[in-house]
A = this chain, B = another copy of it.
Amino acid sequence: MLNFELYNPVNLVFGRGQIAKLSSLIPKNAKVLLAYGGGSIFNNGVHAQVTEALTGYDITEFGGIEPNPRYETLMKAVDVIREKKLDFILAVGGGSVIDGVKFISAAVKFEGDPIDILQKRIRIENNTMPFGTVLTLPATGSEMNSGSVVTINKTKEKLSFGGPAVFPQFSICDPATVASLPKKQVQNGVVDAFTHVMEQYLTYPHDALLQDRIAEGILQTLIEIGPAVAENPADYKLAANFMWCCTMALNGLIQKGVPTDWATHMIGHELTALYEIDHARTLAIIGPNLYRVLFETKKEKLAQYGRRVWNVMETDTDKAALEAIEKTVQFFHIMGMDTKISNYTADYKNTADFIVKRFEERGWKALGERQNITLDKVKTIVEMSY
């Protein structure tokens, strides 16, 4: 087991009706920026629940944070906070709104040009504006971690940052909010969480036995409830398990003490930046092809995954590993994913060269848990995904 530090001070408030607790979670005299996305919170009643819970508070609303939140939009929120001297941010939405609020929280107190937080990937250790979240779209785990991904519109770069000072103070997760989600978003959430686990699990056999068991437990649960919750998001049992799996998939726990990959995300982010393909769908496109190209170094873990998660009975390692990849692709298809780039854009033929060039410009030579996903392998993975 690798050495690790586990620190996660988020107060996670989970369950039906918990939005009413907001007034016990935000200081009474706070001047609050209420940040949200495209307005779905008006349709599903969450905006009404939040404002009712915050009766008496000084609230300034800031809507319009995009899926894949834009640096340019977030800096407008920073201006509003400074102008109105606000001192608390409440993110109401999914991972994009929460990621965006993490950036706002850091940028508003940042000494220097906040674009450096992204382009120089500055670790945020202190001096942020406190914020909490009300999660309405399970997927990214952002409600219980200190990472964030923000897109710079001008350069079409999707960049990550984080640090211990951008944990939410609290996150309210009410599974009832899942009921009104479009099927496509629930599908995306399941596949996003599934791939988060795979990035931290599907590497090589190691001696962190419990971490493997927990990762496998999240995958098993997502497989058990994923197809049903996409069909029936109003089923509280399904929605609660979906929501909790998404949080546990990326709240930092399962990555402790183990090698992690993250190459599927690195490549997938470029597909979103280039073609606006939903994040989860980029992962469903890239993940299986990455396992195929890295088969020799990942096959032992693929076989373990197949046997424990998919009940593959095959005793031969290679065959069990191949069967595991096929089961994964089938699951993504059941979850409504198209798994080829050409399903999303006709203009895909230079994608691999473009992504490789971009990685070269950033000075990246290789990705993955063994740093053996060289740029020629990236090219192959992307070309296999056409």
Binding site for B on A (CB under 8 A): 1-18, 175, 207-211, 213-214, 216-218, 220-221, 224-225, 237, 240-241, 244-245, 248, 253, 256-257
Contacts and interface: CB of A to CB of B under 8 A. Distances in A.
B240 A225 contact: no
A14 B241 CA distance: 29
Contacts of A8: 8-9
A2 B211 CA distance: 25
Nearest to A170: B7
B221 A213 contact: yes
Contacts of A17: 3
Contact of A13 (B5, B12, B253): B5
Contacts of A9: 7-9
A20 B381 CA distance: 43
Given A1-B15, A218-B213, A207 B241 contact: yes
Nearest to A7: B11
Contacts of A224: 209
B5 A11 contact: yes
Given A213-B220, A221-B213, A241 B6 contact: no
B11 A15 contact: no
Give me the 10 closest cross-chain CB pairs, A-B, nearest first: A3-B15, A213-B217, A9-B9, A1-B240, A207-B237, A6-B12, A7-B11, A210-B221, A209-B221, A209-B241
A12 B7 CA distance: 6
A237 B3 contact: no
Contact of A217 (B216, B237, B241): B216
Contact of A2 (B1, B4, B15): B15
A10 B216 CA distance: 25
A309 to B, nearest CB: 11
A217 B215 CA distance: 9
Contacts of A245: 210
B207 A1 contact: no
Contacts of A221: 209-210, 213
A1 B236 CA distance: 9
A134 to B, nearest CB: 15
22 contacts: A1-B14, A1-B240, A5-B11, A5-B12, A5-B13, A5-B14, A7-B9, A8-B9, A14-B257, A207-B240, A208-B240, A208-B244, A209-B224, A209-B225, A210-B221, A210-B245, A211-B244, A213-B214, A213-B217, A213-B218, A214-B217, A216-B217
